[in-house]
Structure 1
Amino acid sequence: MPVIATNTAANTALRYLNLNSTQESSSVAKLSSGSRITKASDDAAGLAVGVRLQSDVTVLQQASTNASHGMSVLQTADGGASRISDILQRMKTLAAQSLSGAVTDDERAYINSEFTQLISEIDSIATGTRFNGEALLDGTTDFATGVDFLLGTDAATDTLTVTIDDLDSTALTLNASTVDTQANASTAAASIDTAIDTVLSARASIGAQMSRFDYRGQMIETSIENLSSAQSAIMDADVAEEQSNLTTAEVLTDASISALSHANDMATRLSKLLQ
């Protein structure tokens, strides 16, 4: 029924114009942000899951850095332990030399001088092998009892404890006067063998912990990849689909504008009937 008091056609066209314009704006927002969910109403459940996945990925990225730091700590400690092992080999040679009947006590005094200096060097290495200012091999820091590294998303279960043995001369039971006589040299040789075994055991422990960090680091990287993929499937916009939606919305918006224009002209055309 043609009327001029209420332009129903214009109201209908305006309603569809607003609807199509909103859809067009939504598609533009998704394309420009690259996200399928630009507001909670787009997908409330998907937003909750996606944000949780994104949070896990962020934590795992830090865990990957933690694993790298842990590996660096152990590599630093192993480097120092390796040098101590080299020194012990030299000390064993000196003890064997002092045991020889071909040398006199005067010469053993010279041998003992080097032997004593090497013990001091072991202590220097033990205190000087540091990571971020913390000594690793002298038993004075938390690494002697264990330091935790978070390597996952759960602080209660995803931790790896790094423990590094004390390798200074006291822990290795080295005596500075172990080679000044033939008798002392004999005792020193046995002590050095024990010290070498202690260092080897410490290095084996360090190596085992490095292996764990290596495997855990690989697992973290795999988890990051998989969770990022899952988060992308939920949160990221399908560009092709959204471009199609945008094109459709643009066409419908243009049609709504045209329809609204025609609807607004209807009242003018109807008024001509009164002339």
Structure 2
Amino acid sequence: MPVITTNTSANSALRYLNMNAAEQTNSLNRIASGSKINRASDDASGLAVATKLQTNVSTLNQAATNASHATSILQTADGGLSQISDILQRMKTLTAQSISGAVTNTERAYINAEYDQLVKEIDSIVASTTFNGDQLLKGTGAGYSGSFLVGTNAGTSGSTANSDIIDIKITSGTTLGDGTFNAVAGLDLETTLYKSGATTNKEDIDAAQLAATAIDKAISAVAGARADVGAQMSRFQFQAAQIASSTENLDAAQSAITDADVAKEQSNFSSAQVKTNAAIAALSQANQMPQQLLQLLR
């Protein structure tokens, strides 16, 4: 029914114009931001899930850093133990050299001098093998220990151990082999390998044999410590690979929820743009209808 007081056609065209303009704006926002969730009202439940996934990804990124730090600590400790092992092998060679009837007391004094310096070098390596100020091969009790978060669960698990936290433990260089290392480092070289004033070489050879036995125990202890460090290092390396895989999968899941399909949004934008133009044209025509009706009164 043609009327001039209420322009129903214009109201309807205006409503569709607002709807189409809003749709066009939403598509343009998604294209510009690359995300299909720009407001909580776009997808409330998707936003909640995506936020949790993003939190997990951020935590895993730090967990990867933690695993890298743990690996670096273990590598540093292994480097120190490797040097100690090499020194102990040289010390064993020196004791073998001393156990020879062709070596005189004067020459054993030279052997002792090198042996003594090697003991001091082991002490130096034990004291200087550090990471971020923490001594790795020297300390009270069992030596260095630390805990590293390598997952997303940083809380406690009651009576069950938290599998996302890995503890590392490095045997102290001062207690290797239940004291066998101390036995080597504590040898008094001037009276053990070489006894000044001895009438025969028998005491010197016996002492060298005792030193060789102590060194063998120390070498075995260092080898055991390196094996333990290597086992822990291997675990962190596999854990780092698992973290990388989990991060990739979580990123993909988050992308499926939040990332905009640019091709789809461009298509929606073009469609909304056409409908907006059509609504503008329809509104223009609707606004002219009352003026056209007035022509009937003339």
How far 1:244 moved relative to its partner? 1.2
- Partner SS for 1:146: strand
How far 1:166 moved relative to its partner? 1.4
Query: Using the alignment, how far apart are the partners of 1:135 and 1:205 within structure 2?
Result: 17
1:19 corresponds to = 19
User: Paired residues, what number?
Assistant: 274
Percent identity of paired positions between Structure 1 and Structure 2: 55
Between 152-161 and 11-20, the greater mean CA deviation after superposition = 152-161
Distance change (3 Å), C-alpha of 1:167 and 1:145: closer
Q: Choose which of 158, 167, 192 in structure 2 pairs with 1:161.
A: 167
Contact 1:129/1:137 (CA < 8 Å) preserved in 2?
yes
Q: Deviations over 1:78-108 (max 9, x none)?
A: 1111110000000001111122222223322
- Partner SS for 1:148: strand
Q: Deviations over 1:114-133 (max 9, x none)?
A: 11110110011111122222
Query: Using the alignment, how far apart are the partners of 2:120 and 2:205 within structure 1?
Result: 22
Contact 2:21/2:272 (CA < 8 Å) preserved in 1?
yes
Pairing 1:196-215 to 2, within 5 Å after superposition:
196-215=219-238
Distance change (3 Å), C-alpha of 1:192 and 1:169: farther
2:262 counterpart of 1:239 = yes
Pairing 1:62-73 to 2, within 5 Å after superposition:
62-73=62-73
- Partner SS for 2:170: coil
Contact 1:14/1:256 (CA < 8 Å) preserved in 2?
yes
Query: Using the alignment, how far apart are the partners of 2:116 and 2:263 within structure 1?
Result: 76
Query: Using the alignment, how far apart are the partners of 1:78 and 1:192 within structure 2?
Result: 19
Q: Read off the aligned partner of 1:80 and give its amino acid letter.
A: G
Query: Using the alignment, how far apart are the partners of 1:74 and 1:145 within structure 2?
Result: 10
- Partner SS for 2:167: strand
1:152 corresponds to = 151
Q: Choose which of 193, 206, 230 in structure 2 pairs with 1:179.
A: 193
- Scaled by the length of structure 2, the TM-score of the pair is 0.88
Contact 1:119/1:169 (CA < 8 Å) preserved in 2?
no
2:49 counterpart of 1:49 = yes
Pairing 1:1-275 to 2, within 5 Å after superposition:
1-139=1-139, 144-155=143-154, 156=156, 157=162, 158-168=164-174, 171=179, 172-173=181-182, 174=184, 175-177=187-189, 178-180=192-194, 181-275=204-298
Query: Using the alignment, how far apart are the partners of 2:106 and 2:243 within structure 1?
Result: 61
Query: Using the alignment, how far apart are the partners of 1:169 and 1:121 within structure 2?
Result: 17
- Partner SS for 1:161: strand
How far 1:191 moved relative to its partner? 0.6
Task: Name structure 2 gaps, 5 residues minimum.
Answer: 157-161, 195-203
Alignment RMSD: 1.7
- Scaled by the length of structure 1, the TM-score of the pair is 0.95
How far 1:189 moved relative to its partner? 0.6
Distance change (3 Å), C-alpha of 1:27 and 1:251: same
How far 1:168 moved relative to its partner? 4.1
Contact 2:66/2:148 (CA < 8 Å) preserved in 1?
yes
Q: Read off the aligned partner of 1:8 and give its amino acid letter.
A: T
